């Protein structure tokens, strides 16, 4: 058996799916007798966990490859893993690397000596590995890209801001969490998105498998992060649903705090009472409900089927029954043909959430909107993104200043 030195890198340390992929690659390498090293120049293989969710992330994946390619030893090979493989095949084919997408993990078995096949590596995180990762790689990354810069500047002046700020950052980088995949793929057809192209249609894991993985990783001091491209459509392919899964988790692990990521507003609008009851009965630390736009006209162009006014009302009701839950959202601004009034609606509706993660629209290869006309100018994109982020910085600062720390909940930024 030949043992290899392996270096693993990632294009998106803030993506839980990417972090989970990192953890699985790490366990696969170590459990098969190979060595993870911290110096890429000494590696026999460099594994890059890529991201192509936005044009910026695609460019970052390419830059990471170029940097490692120019500094690696001559005999070393670079393996690129992850979603970029299917998004931009032409780009991948132009690079001197070994491409492996999410469905081709068996290719690793042909490269590395293995006692354990990659398909047998379960999709959950090694919490110690992730904690080490946070210290080594991403301690400051969230403060650079999220609307918390103003709050960061005022940290020395307020103990309350310092405490709540740290909880925000811990949430954003998934610190102190157990990551367990419940499903992959998507049941929606948003025309700006390539998730379905890269991850396929919804594919849910059976409830009993998920419970077994939770039992292996269980730690009452950790929060359970349910990893999915869209956790709200869990179970539509296996005749169950997210709510049933959560009740089974609560039955077996009643003291576990839960994080819900990527709850499509469509499902909240379709089953409002069920979701409101869910938040009232479960200890949900935080949830992400990606609204994407405050304009129903733009949502229709995105092929996202819900009414933003209904979602606002439901979110307000959720906050009443679950004041301890921090609710985040995503917005995409500068969508093709977005008018100023559409933009202002997004700014307005962002106030009803505890934190907004902002994306400026960019063409992504493989999406239905690629190459569409009515793209906004660079000046408009820059102005609107600066305005939105400045506004959000003041909103976040206000919430950190005026709302009390909930001592019973570790991740509360209300």
Question: What residue ranges do the domains of the chain occupy?
Answer: 5-120, 136-402
Look at residue 29 and tell me whether its pLDDT is greater than 80: yes
Look at residue 411 and tell me whether its pLDDT is greater than 50: no
What does the DSSP assignment read for 118-139? GGGS-SB--HHHHHHHHHHT-S
| 84, 159, 186, 220 from 263: Cα distances, Å | 23, 32, 11, 24
Give the domain 136-402 fold: pyruvate-formate lyase- activating enzyme (3.80.30)
Q: Of 54-58, 120-124, 289-293, which range is least confident?
A: 54-58
Q: Is the CB of residue 240 less than 8 Å from the CB of residue 204?
A: yes
What is the share, in percent, of the chain residues with pLDDT greater than 70? Answer: 82
What is the predicted pLDDT for the residue at 373? 60
Residue labelled with tokens 């690629």 = 370
What is the predicted pLDDT for the residue at 68? 96
What is the predicted pLDDT for the residue at 329? 94
Work out the pLDDT band at 338, boundaries 50, 70, 90. Answer: very high
Instruction: Decide which of 151 and 45 is more confident.
Output: 45
Summarize the confidence of residues 112-140 as an average pLDDT.
Answer: 75
Query: How many Å apart are CA 262 and CA 290, to the nearest integer?
Result: 6
Look at residue 12 and tell me whether its pLDDT is greater than 60: yes
Q: Which residues pair with 7 in a beta bridge?
A: 46
Instruction: Decide which of 161 and 290 is more confident.
Output: 290
Q: Is the CB of residue 79 less than 8 Å from the CB of residue 48?
A: yes
Look at residue 2 and tell me whether its pLDDT is greater than 90: no
Q: Of 73-77, 82-86, 154-158, 255-259, which range is least confident?
A: 154-158
Nearby residues of 398 by Cβ (< 8 Å), 6 or more positions away = none
Q: Which two tokens stand for residue 110?
A: 């042909």
Work out the pLDDT band at 22, boundaries 50, 70, 90. Answer: confident
Instruction: Decide which of 227 and 173 is more confident.
Output: 227
State pLDDT tens for residues 63-93.
Answer: 999 999 999 999 999 999 988 998 888 999 9
Q: Strand runs (DSSP E) across 174-248, as ranges?
A: 177-181, 183-184, 203-204, 223-227
**Helices (H), ranges, 206-303:** 207-217, 242-252, 265-270, 272-281, 296-302
Mean pLDDT of the chain: 86
What is the predicted pLDDT for the residue at 143? 47
Q: Looking at the domain covering 5-120, what would its CATH class be?
A: alpha beta
Look at residue 130 and tell me whether its pLDDT is greater than 90: no
Q: Of 188-202, 224-238, 300-314, 340-354, which range is least confident?
A: 188-202
Q: What is the dihedral of CA 106, 107, 111, 115, to 10 degrees?
A: 0
3 state SS of 235: coil
């Amino acid at each position: 058996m030949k043992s290899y030195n392996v270096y693993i890198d990632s294009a998106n340390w803030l993506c839980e799916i990417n972090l989970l992929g990192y953890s699985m690659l790490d366990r696969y390498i170590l459990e098969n007798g190979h060595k993870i090293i911290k110096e890429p120049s000494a590696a026999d293989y460099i594994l890059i966990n890529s991201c192509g969710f936005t044009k910026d992330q695609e460019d970052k994946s390419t830059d990471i490859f170029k940097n490692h390619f120019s500094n690696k030893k001559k005999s070393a090979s670079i393996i690129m893993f992850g979603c970029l493989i299917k998004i931009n095949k032409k780009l991948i084919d132009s690079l001197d690397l070994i491409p492996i997408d999410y469905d081709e993990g068996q290719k690793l078995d042909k490269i590395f000596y293995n006692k354990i096949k990659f398909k047998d590596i379960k999709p959950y995180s090694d919490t110690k590995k992730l904690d080490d990762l946070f210290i080594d790689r991403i301690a400051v990354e969230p403060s650079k890209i999220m609307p918390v810069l103003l709050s960061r500047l005022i940290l020395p002046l307020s103990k309350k801001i310092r405490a709540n700020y740290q909880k925000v950052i811990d949430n954003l980088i998934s610190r102190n969490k157990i990551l367990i995949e419940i499903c992959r793929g998507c049941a929606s057809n948003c025309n700006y998105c390539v998730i379905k192209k890269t991850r396929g249609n919804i594919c849910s894991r059976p409830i009993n498998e998920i419970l077994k993985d939770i039992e292996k990783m269980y730690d009452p001091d950790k929060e359970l992060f349910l990893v999915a491209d869209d956790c709200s459509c869990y179970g539509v392919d296996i005749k169950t649903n997210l709510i049933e899964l959560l009740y089974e988790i609560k039955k077996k692990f009643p003291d576990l705090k839960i994080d819900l990521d990527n709850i499509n507003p469509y499902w909240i609008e379709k089953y409002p009472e069920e979701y409101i009851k869910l938040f009232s009965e479960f200890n949900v630390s935080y949830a992400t409900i990606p609204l994407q736009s405050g304009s129903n006209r733009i949502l229709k162009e995105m092929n996202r089927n819900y009414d933003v006014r209904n979602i606002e009302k439901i979110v307000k009701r959720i906050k009443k029954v679950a004041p301890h839950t921090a609710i985040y959202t995503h917005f995409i601004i500068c969508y093709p043909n977005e008018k100023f009034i559409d933009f202002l609606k997004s700014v307005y509706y962002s106030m009803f959430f505890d934190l907004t993660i902002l994306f400026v629209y960019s063409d992504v290869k493989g999406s239905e909107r690629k190459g569409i006309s009515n793209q906004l100018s660079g000046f408009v994109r820059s102005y609107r993104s600066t305005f939105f982020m400045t506004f959000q910085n003041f909103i976040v600062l206000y919430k950190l200043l005026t709302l009390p720390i909930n001592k019973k909940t570790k991740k509360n930024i209300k």
